[in-house]
Amino acid sequence: MSRLFAVALILVFSYAASAQEHVHPPSSGAEKLGSVHFATSCSPAVQPHFDRAVALLHSFEFGAAIKGFNEVLAVDSTCAMAHWGIALSRWTNPMAAGNRAPELLQQGRLAAAAAKRLSARATERERGYISAVARLYNDFERVDQRSRFVAYERAMGEMAERDPADTEARIFYAISLAASAPPTDKTYANQRKAGSILEPLWERQPNHPGLAHYIIHSYDFPPLAPEAAAAARRYASIAPSAAHALHMPSHTFTRIGMWRESIATNLRSVEVATRTASIAEALHAYDYAAYAYLQLRRDSAARNVVDKLPALEARFDVNAITGAAPGSAGVFALAAIPARYALERRSWGEAAALEPRTTGFSWAEAMTHFARALGASHTGDLTKARISIDSLAAIRHRLATKGEAYWSEQVAIQRLGAEAWLELAAGRRDSALARMREAATREEATEKNAVTPGPLAPARELLGDMLMELRRPGEALSEYRLTLVKEPNRYRSLAGAVRAAGASGDRVAEADFRAQLKALTEGKP
**pLDDT, tens digit (0-9, with 9 covering 90-100), for 152-180:** 999 999 999 999 999 999 999 999 999 99
- pLDDT confidence of residue 259: 97
Residue 187 has pLDDT above 70, yes or no: yes
Q: How far is CA 23 from the centre of its chain?
A: 23
Average pLDDT over residues 457-464: 98
- pLDDT confidence of residue 337: 98
Q: Which amino acid is at 278?
A: S
| Residue 27 banded pLDDT, cuts 50, 70, 90 | very low
Write 132-137 long-range contacts (CB < 8 A, 24+).
132/156, 132/159, 133/84, 133/87, 133/88, 133/91, 134/87, 134/109, 136/87, 136/88, 136/91, 136/108, 136/112, 137/87, 137/105, 137/108, 137/109, 137/112
DSSP annotation of 419: H
* Alpha helices (H) along 42-166: 47-58, 62-75, 80-91, 102-117, 124-134, 145-162
Report d(CA 343, CA 346) in Å as an integer: 5
Report d(CA 421, CA 475) in Å as an integer: 18
CB–CB of 195/208 below 8 Å?
A: no
- pLDDT confidence of residue 435: 98
428 vs 522, residue with greater confidence: 428
What's the chain's average pLDDT? 93
**pLDDT, tens digit (0-9, with 9 covering 90-100), for 330-354:** 999 999 999 999 999 999 999 999 9
What is the pTM (predicted TM-score) of this model? 0.89
Q: In 3-state terms, what secondary structure has residue 381?
A: coil
Residue 222 has pLDDT above 50, yes or no: yes
Report d(CA 64, CA 41) in Å as an integer: 22
**pLDDT, tens digit (0-9, with 9 covering 90-100), for 92-138:** 999 987 789 899 999 999 999 999 999 998 999 999 999 999 999 99
Class (C level, CATH) for 34-231: mainly alpha
**pLDDT, tens digit (0-9, with 9 covering 90-100), for 477-491:** 999 999 999 999 999
Residue 5 has pLDDT above 70, yes or no: no
CB–CB of 332/361 below 8 Å?
A: yes
Whole-number percent of the chain with pLDDT over 90: 87
Q: CA torsion sign, 386 to 387 to 393 to 399? A: negative
450 contact partners, CB below 8 Å, separation of at least 6: 93, 95, 96, 217, 220, 251
CATH number of 244-316: 1.25.40
Residue 28 has pLDDT above 50, yes or no: no
**pLDDT, tens digit (0-9, with 9 covering 90-100), for 289-314:** 999 999 999 999 999 999 999 999 99
Q: In 3-state terms, what secondary structure has residue 208?
A: coil
For the chain, first and last CA: distance in Å? 26
| Residue 22 banded pLDDT, cuts 50, 70, 90 | very low
| Residue 29 banded pLDDT, cuts 50, 70, 90 | low
Residue 21 has pLDDT above 90, yes or no: no
Q: CA torsion sign, 204 to 207 to 211 to 216? A: positive
Burial (CB count within 10 angstroms: exposed 0-12, middle 13-18, buried 19+), residue 173? buried
| Residue 325 banded pLDDT, cuts 50, 70, 90 | confident
Burial (CB count within 10 angstroms: exposed 0-12, middle 13-18, buried 19+), residue 141? exposed
Largest distance between two CA atoms of the chain: 76
| Residue 498 banded pLDDT, cuts 50, 70, 90 | very high
Give residue limits of the domains in the chain. 34-231, 244-316, 341-457, 460-525
**pLDDT, tens digit (0-9, with 9 covering 90-100), for 387-431:** 999 999 999 999 999 989 999 999 999 999 999 999 999 999 999
What topology is assigned to 460-525 in CATH?
Answer: 1.25.40
Report d(CA 378, CA 422) in Å as an integer: 8
Query: Backbone phi, then psi, for 207, in 5-degree steps?
Result: -105, 15
Please choose, from the candidates 217, 163, 223, the residue with its C-alpha nearest in 3D space to the C-alpha of residue 195.
217
- pLDDT confidence of residue 440: 98
Burial (CB count within 10 angstroms: exposed 0-12, middle 13-18, buried 19+), residue 325? buried
DSSP annotation of 42: S
Residue 43 has pLDDT above 80, yes or no: yes
| Residue 457 banded pLDDT, cuts 50, 70, 90 | very high
Whole-number percent of the chain with pLDDT over 70: 94
Same fold, 34-231 and 244-316: yes
- pLDDT confidence of residue 217: 96
- pLDDT confidence of residue 381: 98
Please choose, from the candidates 156, 166, 248, 163, the residue with its C-alpha nearest in 3D space to the C-alpha of residue 194.
156
- pLDDT confidence of residue 522: 84
